[in-house]
Amino acid sequence: MLRSTIAAMISVYQQHISFRKNYCCAHRALYGGWSCSEYGKRAVLRHGVIRFVLLQGRRFSNCAKAPSILKMQEKKGEKEYSDFPWKACVSSKEMQSFVGGCCCWPWGR
């Protein structure tokens, strides 16, 4: 029951909040695959609440490091950083850490 409630809350976030605030997941841009919210939704349904908390915490930690990695890769010429749609988000002062994850507030602080 709690698993499905958490997954439903994540779905509401994805459908009604994430896209409205121009959310950008640096982990997804760097590594591909699922965004942090999609990863969390799948993790809670598959592994349960306790393991979800541990896995999501690790994912948010990795996501918080992703913008720095992308910037270093751009400087080395490994990736064309300007191709990432969230470049302005990461380089702006509105970039904030949300529970160790990634979050962009386009309307400012």
Q: Which one has a higher pLDDT value, 107 or 38?
A: 38
- The count of structural domains within the chain is 1
Asked whether residue 109 is assigned to any structural domain, the reply reads no
Asked whether residue 82 is assigned to any structural domain, the reply reads yes
Asked whether residue 58 is assigned to any structural domain, the reply reads yes
What does pTM read for this prediction?
A: 0.67
Q: Cα angle vertex 16, ends 91, 22, to 5°?
A: 15
Q: Which residues contact 38 (CB under 8 A, 6 or more apart)?
A: 14
Q: What is the pLDDT of residues 11-46, one digit of tens each?
A: 999 888 877 766 678 888 888 889 999 999 999 999
pLDDT at res. 58 = 95
Asked whether residue 17 is assigned to any structural domain, the reply reads yes
Asked whether residue 32 is assigned to any structural domain, the reply reads yes
**Residue-range definition of the domain harbouring residue 12:** 2-104
